[in-house]
Amino acid sequence: MAHVNDELRRSIEELSEEQAMKAMDFVRQLRGSPQFNGVFELLCADPAIRVPTETRGFSLVRAIRGTGEPASRLLIEDRR
């Protein structure tokens, strides 16, 4: 975790004042809301991030039924 914090500090030092203010607003949003309320709107305001105006739904995928012992059960028994 310390490595990530050090990298973040180095990155912040290279930001302009305006970029630093945006980053600080983003951090405040993350700290203030366990559900990350408002983060989506904050990211939408950034010109580097494109949010699609419309999305296609996902198609339904049916699970495949296999025969024999499930691999998960075999892996658990193998670990014991």
Q: Is residue 69 part of a domain?
A: no
CA–CA separation, 2 and 7 (whole Å): 9
Q: Is residue 36 part of a domain?
A: yes
Secondary structure letter of residue 48 according to DSSP: T
CA–CA separation, 26 and 20 (whole Å): 10
Range of the domain at 38: 1-51
pLDDT top residue among 70 and 49: 70
Q: Is residue 67 part of a domain?
A: no
In this predicted model, what pLDDT tens digit does every residue of 2-54 receive, in sequence order? 688 888 888 888 888 888 888 888 887 777 665 555 677 777 777 887 767 77
pTM over 0.75: no
Q: Are 12 and 26 spatial neighbours (Cβ–Cβ below 8 Å)?
A: no
Number of domains in the chain: 1
Q: Is residue 62 part of a domain?
A: no
Look up tokens 């296609």; give the residue.
56
Q: Is residue 63 part of a domain?
A: no
Look up tokens 């983060």; give the residue.
39
Q: Is residue 3 part of a domain?
A: yes
Predicted pLDDT of residue 33: 61
